[in-house]
Amino acid sequence: MTSHQTMMIRMFIGRCRRLALGGLTLLAVVSTSVSADAYSLPDMGSSSDSMMTRSAEARLGKLFMRSVRSALPVMDDPLATSYIESLGTALVESDRTAGGSFTFFLIDEPVVNAFAGPGGYIGIYAGLILAAQTESELAAVMAHEIAHVTQRHLMRSFEDQSKLSLPTTALLIAAAILGAQVSPDAGMAAIAGVQAAALQRQINFTRDNEKEADRIGIQTLAGAGHDPFAMAGFFERLAKATRVYESSAPEFLRTHPVTADRIADSLGRAEGFGARQRADSLRFQLTRAKLRERSYRRAEQSVAHFEDTLGGGRFREEIAERYGYALALQRARRFTDAKRESDTLIAAHPSQAEFIVLDAELDLALGKGTEALAHLKQAVSLFPSQWPLRVAYADALMSAGEPARALDELKAVARVRPANALLYEMIVQAATKAGDQADVDRYRAEKLYVEGDLEPAIRQLEMALRRRNVPYHDAAQIQVRLDAWREEGREEKKRGGNPLRAAPLSAR
């Protein structure tokens, strides 16, 4: 790039940092661990479906997530992920305007933050979960983000990007997030090679879209049985924290404060539904305990924290606090002490997936592999819909030197949880150890596709079909998948990689 282009890119990233979003994504930059504005999320304005086909938007989402994964620590913990997915799914189901698919994922960073990208990808930071005093407050942020997606606020951004290719658009979206959240240099790296002139296209965010996301978000909260006042309560509490710590508040918070009018408007809308007291779920408390334990750099610090809170009685839910303590002991390799805590947890809640997985992991660490396998197998048979249990069982089978059985378990999970890059990587590892080269090719292709690499995915599937002794049923499934991907590739080439090229002029 020329020096002029570099300067223009830096100017663009600077705008991203001031606006918390530039170019083509809606992004909530709430704060560091001391302050936040969970609802000043610049958005895109609504748009009709004709702006972009659903399939093109899904492809854009995959490309977007590939960039996010390369720059941000996406947390692949099955138990924490399944919790955030279950909360998000319940909110989506209560939103009558919701359509299409959603993917909820966690970012392992201590900042209070959330963002939504194309294709219904919604990222929730660990710091947000820890900052939320109630499950309804966490749900309020997620409901607001869901509303941005369901109202298609993102799509209008493409009106000004009709000459950009799908990969370039995804890079711009990722650059906006990286530039606003990580650093200007990270944003620069993400958009290297993108024309600087294209980066100057800015979206004028409207207050009406924010109000719409608030309004629909509060309605969604109430419909899912959460406290509709949680949104205003979170606004107000974090706004006060921002004022207290204003000297150290992020630039975004200094230029985009939570306004009294917005808080008042949220309170007024919540009044229409009335107050609803809802106890936090145990899974919410357990997820917070896990994230709290992970937030300490050293295991000794984590152990000391939980010993202090338990000893002083400073906790909301003792069972969750003891879970965090057991995890800290496990990380400190004090397996016998951790097992003692785990036995107490299992006795209190024998069907809780978090406790079953922890107990099995400790049994494995203590050389009790047979017991771990037996307990996990029983848990999987009793709770077949609990996919984290099956993943834990597969891990235990791999540790026991039974990759073929682990492969069967992981493939069973993949049938109900498609489009999961981490799961496909685990399947590839199990298939490699089991000597099943056809499955190696097949699921490596699926991983490539999920990550947005369509052409390499097609080539990988073609290799799978050329393998000898591929069962007829598997070959037929591979062929169907291959035909669909080839058609997708042909359609993309017709548009020249541009998701808007096939859209009618009246939609632009």
Q: Mind telling me the catalytic residues?
A: 145, 214
Q: What are phi and psi of 14, to 5 degrees?
A: -60, -40
Placement of tokens 């000391």 in the chain:
304
How far is the C-alpha of 125 from the C-alpha of 13, rounded, in Å? Answer: 21
Residue 261, both tokens? 């009018």
How far is the C-alpha of 74 from the C-alpha of 208, rounded, in Å? Answer: 32
On whether the CB atoms of residues 445 and 464 are closer than 8 A, the answer is: yes
Single-letter residue type at 26: L
Single-letter residue type at 327: L
How far is the C-alpha of 250 from the C-alpha of 40, rounded, in Å? Answer: 13
User: What residues does 113 pair with on adjacent strands?
Assistant: 29
Q: How many CA atoms lie within 13 A of 85 on its CB side?
A: 17
On whether the CB atoms of residues 258 and 39 are closer than 8 A, the answer is: yes
DSSP string, 8-41: HHHHHHHHHHHHS--SS-EEEEEESTT---TT--
On whether the CB atoms of residues 185 and 14 are closer than 8 A, the answer is: no
On whether the CB atoms of residues 276 and 222 are closer than 8 A, the answer is: yes
User: What residues does 123 pair with on adjacent strands?
Assistant: 105, 115
Q: In what order do the strands lie in the sheet with 103-107?
A: 26-31, 112-116, 121-125, 103-107, 74-75
Using alpha carbons, list the distances in angstroms from residue 253 to 140, 353, 501: 19, 39, 38
CA triple 123-177-288, angle to 5 deg: 30
CA triple 24-28-33, angle to 5 deg: 145
Question: Residue 172's CB: how many other CB atoms inside 10 A?
Answer: 25
Residue 345, both tokens? 């947890």
Length of the chain: 508
**74-75 vs 103-107, strand pairing mode:** antiparallel
How far is the C-alpha of 94 from the C-alpha of 103, rounded, in Å? Answer: 16
Tell me the three state secondary structure of residue 470.
Answer: coil
User: What residues does 29 pair with on adjacent strands?
Assistant: 113
DSSP string, 335-391: HHHHHHHHHHHHHH-TT-HHHHHHHHHHHHHTT-HHHHHHHHHHHHHH-TT-HHHHH
